[in-house]
Amino acid sequence: MRSYDEALEQVLAAVLGPLETELVPLEQARGRALAEDMIAPVDLPPFDNSMVDGYAVRAASVGAASEDTPLALPIGMEIAAGSWPTRALRAGEAARIFTGAPLPEGGDALVMVEDTEEDESGWVTLRAPGSSHYIRRRGSDLAVGELALPAHTTLTPGELGVLAALNQSTVPCFRRPRVGLLSTGDELVPVGEQALAPGQIRNSNGPALAAAIEEAGGITVEHVHARDTIASVTEAFARLAHCDLVLSSGGVSVGSHDHVKDVLEAQGSLAFWRIAIKPGRPLAFGRLGSALFFGLPGNPASSLVTFELFVRPVLRKLAGHALLTRPQLRATLTDKLPHASGRREFVRARLMWQESTGTYTATPTGAQGSHRTASMAGAMALLIAHEDHGDYPAGTTLPALLL
Ligand code: AMP
Ligand code: MG
């Protein structure tokens, strides 16, 4: 049986590199990974400008003006954002200026409007010396030729703002992985369809995994259902083998109705199918046609937890992201956590920030049975209970993988 660390290393090593690149309209690029270094083609800001509403002056004209020794200057011009000064600033005058407006030539200091008083005759009284601190210099945000964003950056609103400022209407991104999703099980009925006959249940993994695929940056191109027969699983595999990644749920254990492993060995290759984790011990990994293949367990909590631990990082690597895993923090158990050594356990938990101690506390989301769909709802993190450890007493601090 693979350890968690070995299994993660093996599945990530199976991704030889990101998929091809494509140009994506800026407004559709959120969440994608940048395929090339973005070098600033222009200076940001493109000109020296004011950080404040106030007055541009020549520092030498103002000297050490202060509350006790105010200085009055005539207002020679006004410069609004979006305009350009018509002439240089002369010695002994001030220019009324607004945030984002270009600094006039000769102006080398700014006085905030809060430190001034304007009178009707067109003069302004300055109660503070001018400061160059309020000047936003051309190129001080990003200079021409500077690396704005390295390849493999995940594009969040912040990065999209940088690309927009640099006038990139299309963005080179790695292609999103195309995923084939397969739900196996004679007992499954799709959500919203006919009433359940005795012995049947709703296919809840299908929609949950499709959402997880989307969140991870993949596209579910096909979602099929297979019955628990070799023929049905074989047919479904053949249909999905053209994808970048195939994900099945259920049928991966050792029961006589579990055919996923055998069919994978017949149609592709099986690298491993057991991992020393809980939930999710039966987890098949291999190849099917052009696709990487994951056979997730059927139990709802197991399928989502194993998706999170193994499939999500693989999808992110295929999609070209530098960052494959989620952040971790440490959280303190509010109650005793029963844990049997031998497997690494991932416990669905809620976290709560404790202002008084400056730490997070963690409380499991109820019974951790892998069949419990409700145990995933509201889970903010997976607490990591180590395979070399037994029960944890209340007050123990454990690593928590944020969901
Ligand atoms: P299996 O791995 O096929 O033995 O399934 C394990 C458990 O998960 C069984 O109780 C199944 O009924 C249940 N299960 C399998 N697939 C799904 C699914 N798509 N949605 C909800 N439950 C499922
Ligand atoms: Mg089954």
> CATH number of the domain that 114 lies in?
2.170.190.11
Residues 201 and 182 in one domain: yes
Number of domains the chain contains: 4
User: What is the end-to-end Cα distance of the chain in Å, rounded?
Assistant: 26
Residues 369 and 291 in one domain: no
- The ligand whose atoms approach the alpha carbon of 297 most closely is 1
Residues 210 and 304 in one domain: yes
- What pLDDT does residue 331 have? 98
- Ligand 1 is surrounded, with C-beta below 6 A, by 183, 185, 187-188, 201, 203-206, 249-253, 255, 297-300, 371
User: Two tokens at 182?
Assistant: 């397969």
Range of the domain at 88: 49-136
Task: Using the atom order of ligand 1, give the atom closest to the CA of residue 184.
Answer: 16
CA of 384 to the centre of ligand 2 (A): 27
Element at 71 (helix H, strand E): strand 71-79
Return all residues near 278 (Cβ < 8 A) that are at least 6 apart.
343, 344, 345, 346, 370
In whole angstroms, give the CA distance from residue 266 to residue 382: 35
* 323 within a domain of the structure (yes/no): no
**Among candidate residues 149, 165, 151, the one with its CA nearest the CA of residue 33:** 151
Q: Give whole-number Cα distances, 316 to 76, 128, 255, 260, 308, in Å.
A: 58, 54, 32, 25, 11
The CATH number given to whatever domain includes residue 149 is 3.90.105.10
User: Two tokens at 375?
Assistant: 């145990």
Instruction: Give 126-169 pLDDT, tens digit per residue.
Output: 999 999 999 999 999 999 999 999 999 999 999 999 999 999 99
The CATH number given to whatever domain includes residue 268 is 3.40.980.10
Residues 245 and 212 in one domain: yes
Residues 226 and 305 in one domain: yes
Of 188 and 254, the one with more pLDDT: 188
CA of 228 to the centre of ligand 1 (A): 11
CA of 318 to the centre of ligand 2 (A): 29
In whole angstroms, give the CA distance from residue 188 to residue 183: 8
Q: Give whole-number Cα distances, 20 to 104, 169, 175, 184, 237, in Å.
A: 48, 20, 6, 31, 24
Mutate to test the pocket of ligand 1, among 181, 183, 184, 201 (most ligand atoms within 8 A of CB): 201
Indicate the residue among 174, 189, 221 that finishes a domain. Answer: 174
Instruction: Give 173-212 pLDDT, tens digit per residue.
Output: 999 999 999 999 999 999 998 999 999 999 999 999 999 9
- What pLDDT does residue 371 have? 84
Find the mean pLDDT for residues 325-333. 97
Residues 199 and 307 in one domain: yes
Residues 203 and 282 in one domain: yes
CA of 249 to the centre of ligand 1 (A): 7
Residues 190 and 227 in one domain: yes
Indicate the residue among 318, 344, 379 that finishes a domain. Answer: 318
Residues with CB under 5 A from ligand 2 (ion): 185, 250-251, 298
- The ligand whose atoms approach the alpha carbon of 205 most closely is 1
Does the N-terminal peptide bond of residue 279 adopt cis geometry, omega within 30 degrees of 0?
A: yes
Check pLDDT > 90 for residue 113: yes
User: Residues 396, 399, 402, CA angle at the centre, nearest 5°?
Assistant: 130
* 310 within a domain of the structure (yes/no): yes
pTM: 0.93
